[in-house]
Every structure is written in structure tokens, then in C-alpha cells.
Structure 1
Amino acid sequence: MIEGPAGGRSAGGCAQASPSRDLVVYKTPYCGCCNGWITHMRRAGFNPIVREVQDLNPIRAQYGVPFTLSSCHTALVGGYVVEGHVPPADVARLLADKPKAIGLTVPGMPIGSPGMETPSEQSENYATLLLLDRTGRTRVFAHHG
């Protein structure tokens, strides 16, 4: 077996690239719910690499996330941006489907989303949005709640 460029293995000399599970997470040092989301991602098989910053706005601007679609942390995985409390299954689907897009976002901090759970298990309906371009165009990627 030969190791592929992204860690994928194949027989017979043809490397098959598998999506990287490395997830670079930018967050402020003061946010506890970000740590909850990171735990969800780790349990789902991702490898979070945390980078604490004082201000996420320059990171979001660099990767094309408009303020109106922002949340409390910004992550990068497989060439995509993941903004906010996006469920791990949505990230896995993004990496498998490889749509032409900037990435995914769950704007705000919806109650019941990964990292935003409550002791009463309260949950609100929310959508994961596929961020299509830097103008902020989106379409619904998944419904939750």
C-alpha cells in the first residue's frame, strides 16, 4: 500500500486522496461554547488544531465570511471555511460532496446546536447554510432542530 498525499492509502501504486480531517479552529480565549463544538468535532473523527486570537473579524474577512453570517468561531478544513456551530455530519458531507462554495455557516449561536446544548435539552430550529461566494449568497445545506 502507498500513502497518498492526504493520508489516503491504495493498492497498486495509485494514491487515492481522502479528505483531510485536520480542522484549524480560530476562536477567542473567552468562549466556552467553542470548546464544546471542538469536542463534538473531535468525537466525530476530526483533528482540531486550535488557534486563539483576540479578534475573529480579520480571519472572517480573509476567508470570505460576511459579518451577518458570522458566529463565535471560524474553522478551516479541506479548503473550506466552517463558521459557527455547524454539526460534524454537515462538515463530513461538505468534504464528501465537494461543492463549489466557500464553506458552511450556522450564523449566530442556535440553542441545541453542537456546543450550545442546555441541561434541559432545549433546541431551536436552525439551518446550516452553504456559503456560495464572498457576496454572502447562500443556500440551505441542512435543516436541524
Structure 2
Amino acid sequence: MTTNPLSRKFLFLILVIAISIPIAVIAFMAISRPVEGVLSGLSVTIYKPPQCPCCSEYAGYLSSLGARVEIAAIDDIDGLMDRLGVPQDLRSCHISIVEGYIVVGHVPADAIKKLLSERPNIKGISLPGMPPGSPGMPGAREKPFAIYSFNGSINLFLII
């Protein structure tokens, strides 16, 4: 009895697809969610207005990545930003202190990791405003996030 070469090719194709689909699904799941523990051991203090829910969501995001987060509710967030020297154009709803650096707004963990690995001579970094889809903010991401550094001048730090 002879076998049809087309049926062999068809079976081989089915086998390749059957193996490839689970691998693709696992790879997609791995890159589409934050990796737990990427901020393990990091202590973060977040200063936020008392009634701001997105700031609490951001704290949860950092905690889910392994950071130890302390939240301090303050009524005068702008006054704190003035005292810390955060430029008007870089402000957001909350401010975090991370190993002596100022982190303003809903900054993704990748930017914080870059900041701490490079340790530049700056006051801090900011994701200005409250962009949709940023950590802790609802909605879909509309464009890449531009993270700025500041230390008397404002410079582009990272685009994510």
C-alpha cells in the first residue's frame, strides 16, 4: 500500500500548526502583561490628592511589580511640586519619590528601571498629564509615551 505524498504534507502542516499555536499564545501572554517582580524590593512613596482614584491604581500597578508602596494623601499637590522644583509643563496628578528621584505621573516601570540603572544627575522624570492607557489610567493607549527628565532644564528621557 502506498501513501499519498499530499496527505503526508497535509499531516505535516497540521502538526506544525498544532505546535505553533500554543507557542504563539504563550509568547503573546508573556509580552502583553507586566512581569511580576521587576521592581522587587523598591520602596516608593506616592503623594496624591485624597480623592484621586487613578493615583491609587498607579500604586497598585507598582505593587503588582514587587515595589513596596506607601501612599501619602495631601491636599496641596501643586505646592509640593513647587517645593520640589517640578516644571509646570511636566506636572500630573501625583508625585512619587523613588530612591531620591522624583517620578511625576503615571510613569511606566520600564522608565523607572532605566532611571535607577543609569542613575543620571537629574531631579527626576515625568510622564506629563494623565495619558489614556498609561499605568493606572483607563482607556486605550493613543500614542507612545514620552518621558522627560528635569534638572533645571527639560530633556527627553525615553519614549515607550
Query: What TM-score results when the alignment is normalised by the length of structure 2?
Result: 0.70
Query: The residue matched to 1:40 in structure 2 has which SS?
Result: helix
| Alpha-carbon distance in 1 for matches of 2:41, 2:116 | 9
Query: The residue matched to 1:36 in structure 2 has which SS?
Result: helix
Q: CA deviation at 1:20?
A: 6.5
Where do residues 42-81 of structure 1 align in structure 2 (5 Å cutoff)? 42-81=63-102
2:155 is the counterpart of 1:139: yes
Gaps of 5+ in 1: 1-18
Contact 1:111–1:124 (Cα < 8 Å) also in 2: yes
2:108 paired residue among 73, 84, 87? 87
Q: Which has the higher helix share?
A: 2
2:56 paired residue among 21, 29, 35? 35
Query: What TM-score results when the alignment is normalised by the length of structure 1?
Result: 0.77
Q: Which has the higher strand share?
A: 1
- Paired residue for 2:26? none
Q: How many residues align?
A: 120
Runs of 4+ in 1 over 3 A off after TM superposition: none
| Alpha-carbon distance in 2 for matches of 1:42, 1:66 | 27
Give deviations 1:68-92, integer Å, cap 9, x for gaps: 2100000101110000010012112
**Bigger-Rg structure (1/2):** 2
CA RMSD of aligned residues (A): 1.6
Contact 1:20–1:77 (Cα < 8 Å) also in 2: no
- Paired residue for 1:6? none
Identity of aligned residues (%): 32
Query: The residue matched to 1:81 in structure 2 has which SS?
Result: strand
